[in-house]
Amino acid sequence: MRITRARLIDLARQETERRASADDDILAGYIVGSVAGGEPLLGGVADVDLVLVHGSNPRAGRELVPLSSDVHLDIAHHPQSLYAHPPQLRVHPWLGPAICEAVLVHDPQHFFERVQAGVRGQFHRPDHVVARARALLARSHEASASLASANPWLQAYATAVLEAANAAACLAGSPAAGRGLALILEQRALTLAHPEIHIGFGLLLGSERVSGLDLTQVRRAWSTAFAAASQVSSDPQLAAPRRSYYLAAFQALAEMGKPEAALWPMLTTWDRAIATLDGSATPAAAEWQPILDSLDLASSASSRRADELETYLDLVETILEEWAERNGA
């Protein structure tokens, strides 16, 4: 199957319509993420982030549906009640931008069209942009405050780093996550003329230490851990098709000369896999700790890393406030 954006949209539409014909509780379906943004492929492999809106509370929150060895659907299930107040969603830091940029694939009652119109109205007004940025910054501060008691520590730390970087980046576009996160953050930082947003993000994850790693061995160790976790976990984020999806991206980023851009998705999925394996004495777990040590991200470094994160948060807050002042927000 030749993978194109149009083909991916069509596959999502077919799956949504098939389900809707068998379940009249499905009100709408829309695509978000890299397919909606126009850049779905990384390493020749893609997923389609599909949201299905239900009239009632859905039984599952998320599921993964493989379509081929190179494509899968990552389906989120939302209740209709989540969309009750579209104007309020304008300032939701994640859902608002997703709705604004969504590609609609199913909406027979025009439910989502009305919601999207309500969100898009004045979406780019400076005070709304700043409200979303401040919400992300607040989320980062909240995650940062939990670091001392967080278990696993790295997951909370990575979340705080993600939210902080996006607080600045969303001044120039939608927040980002996933495989292409670092590439998007780099683009946003250049647009804002603040390269330190992207540079600081990387340094918080140990980007300056990547050159000292055997990347082939690192990818192999990650793959072993992920495969082991996918066999025992029902977590869609650890589903077996995600392994090739991430590996293709890690390899592609290395070939682009940007192996450090793989750090955030690699570390967060690896940490999740190890937690699923309960840190048991498996080959997968045995190789995890030396990687953390190499990147200075072991729990013994948590206090110092927390201080570095606070410095980064101060930087982001300054950028945000200066932008707000220049744009009358």
62-66, strands of its sheet edge to edge? 62-66, 71-79, 46-54, 26-32, 103-106
The pTM of the full predicted model, rounded to 2 decimals, is 0.93
**pLDDT tens digits for 144-193?**
998 988 777 999 999 999 999 999 999 999 999 999 999 999 999 999 99
Q: What is the pLDDT along the chain (329 residues), one digit of tens a residue?
A: 678 899 999 999 999 999 999 999 999 999 999 899 877 678 888 899 999 999 999 988 999 999 988 999 999 999 999 999 999 999 999 999 999 999 999 999 999 999 999 999 999 999 999 999 999 999 999 999 989 887 779 999 999 999 999 999 999 999 999 999 999 999 999 999 999 999 999 999 999 999 999 999 999 999 999 999 999 988 999 999 999 999 999 999 999 999 999 999 999 999 999 988 875 556 777 889 999 999 999 989 999 999 999 999 999 999 999 999 999 97
Assess whether the previous peptide bond of 86 is cis (omega < 30° from 0): no
Alpha-carbon gap, residue 237 to 230, rounded angstroms: 9
Domains and CATH numbers, the chain: 5-120 (3.30.460.10), 127-314 (no CATH)
Instruction: Write the CB contacts of 59 (distance below 8 Å, at least 6 apart in sequence).
Output: 77
pLDDT computed for residue 206 by the predictor: 97
Structure token digits, residue 68: 């081929």
Which pLDDT belongs to residue 280?
57
- Residue from 127, 108, 296, 261 nearest 189 by CA: 261
